Chain A
Amino acid sequence: MRCLWLPVIVALSGCSWVDQVSERLDRSGVDLSSQQIADLPYASAYAQWQGMPNALVVLAYVEQPYHQYPSSKTYKWVSQDKGMIVTQAGRITKTIGMAGADLSSLYASTPDPLALGLHLASTPKDWSYSIDWARGRFDGVKANSSFVRLGEHDGVQEWKEVVNLSIDKQLTNLFWVDSATGRVVRSQQQPVPDLPSIEFKVVKGFKGK
């Protein structure tokens, strides 16, 4: 099977790639030492659903985005049980394998403040976007979000995003942002209303272009 011929796929791609990655992962709860993280052959992250053990997810694909905005590259992280979390500029924009409650798509007509850099005074602290969920036929739900800075410790700013949805629901996300670069280093995000948040932390970053 030939798989590595498309220029936009920066990371490894392929039909057996996810299978190979999945075999190396353990979903039963992971807490790696610094040396173990250094030894990891792939860019990796911890994903933790509220009350569940840490799961290690591995970066399987880095691709160009589908939508005009968010315009950041899409990072596609896979778990041992073949779930997927897609992130763009640190925001979870798609999930697969979340027990029928997946976030299908997130799109906007203006840039995500996370992509512009929340650390910059010039970055708008409000954003409007649309969300599709797989469950309940929630297509095109309008979301209006506002960011509030909660504090700063050790060169990391903590931001809270409150998202008001057109279906009379609310989401709350927390982002920890590098004060110098604006890069999201850790987050606690609620992709679907009324369901637990996902804590997401990159433990070994992607070194590619």
Chain B
Amino acid sequence: MRVILSIFLFLSAQSFASSIAYIKPGARVGDVLQYVAVSSSHKSAPYWRASYMRYTMPDEVFEAQRDFLVSRLGEQSEISKRLRLVSMNRRIMMPLDLDFVRLDIKNNPLIDKPVQLVINIKPDDVYLLSDASWSSLPFEAATIAGDIVPTKTKTDSVYVISPSGDVQFHGVAAFNSSKQFVPRGALIYVPSHKLTALQNQQVAQLMANGGWL
């Protein structure tokens, strides 16, 4: 109980939609999620697919990657600005659905290091990031990336990053258009021509790790 009561929720400086809870070691993940769930009204109900845990200190490898990528892109690039905003703390990749976690003790580990719990409410938008711009558009069901990326964009493929941290590569040109739908709250990253394929992949991974909601 003491562990649960040591959780402090406050709005993060990055986004009005995200809340961050600092969790001391000793609790199980399910206890923490349950506390969050019962503390929420239906308007602030956590959207588990976009909520995650991360370590409390920045990851040095991620920071070095970001600095290198920003140096290649230039500080004026919108991608650089977003990379500067997102957290470089390493995300812990595990599903946080409260029901899934408490169904099986294997899904409900003991928290043994200080972590942050990032809680997002259900997003209403999807986001588009390219060298030139950052924008949000209203989410619509059953939409493919090709419907979202402007036709003037000079690319035939984009990264579709789901709020759960899953990164996929979707074709958006007529000859390779992906039939996969874009999830709610997704970030569509248009690869930069200033970067190599591997470096663009690193941008996508850093955004997936850091979150953007």
A binding-site residues for B, Cβ under 8 Å: 1-3, 5-6, 8-9, 13, 15-16, 18-19, 64-68, 76, 78, 82-84, 86, 94, 96-97, 104, 130, 132, 136-142, 166-167
Contact = CB atoms under 8 A, between A and B. Distances in A.
A5 B39 CA distance: 13
B86 to A, nearest CB: 22
B42 A65 contact: yes
B36 to A, nearest CB: 11
B45 A67 contact: yes
Contact of B34 (A6, A83, A138): A6
Contacts of B184: 132, 139-140
A139 B141 CA distance: 6
B28 A1 contact: yes
Interface of B: 1, 28, 30-31, 34, 37-38, 42-43, 45, 49, 97, 99-100, 102-105, 108, 139-142, 162, 180-184
Contact of A18 (B49, B104, B180): B104
Given A15-B28, A15-B30, A137 B105 contact: no
Contacts of B108: 15
Contacts of A97: 103
Contact of A82 (B28, B103, B183): B103
Q: Among the interface residues B42, B141, B182, B183, which one has the most CB atoms of the partner chain A within 10 A?
A: B141
A138 B182 CA distance: 8
A12 to B, nearest CB: 12
Nearest to A68: B42
B113 to A, nearest CB: 20
Contacts of A141: 141-142
Given A15-B108, A18-B103, A166 B1 contact: no
A104 B183 CA distance: 13
Contacts of B31: 1, 3, 15
Q: Among the interface residues B31, B42, B102, B183, which one has the most CB atoms of the partner chain A within 10 A?
A: B102
A15 B105 contact: yes
A83 B37 CA distance: 20
21 contacts: A3-B31, A5-B1, A13-B34, A15-B105, A18-B102, A19-B105, A64-B38, A65-B42, A67-B42, A67-B45, A78-B103, A96-B97, A96-B100, A96-B103, A97-B103, A132-B184, A137-B162, A137-B183, A138-B142, A140-B184, A141-B142
A140 B30 contact: no
A97 B97 CA distance: 13
A139 B42 contact: no
Given A65-B42, A167-B141, 8 more contacts: A15-B31, A78-B103, A94-B99, A130-B141, A136-B180, A138-B181, A139-B184, A166-B141
A141 B142 CA distance: 7
Contacts of A86: 99
B141 A136 contact: no
Contacts of B104: 18-19, 82
A150 to B, nearest CB: 30
The 4 closest A-B pairs by CB, nearest first: A140-B141, A139-B184, A137-B181, A66-B45
Contacts of A13: 34
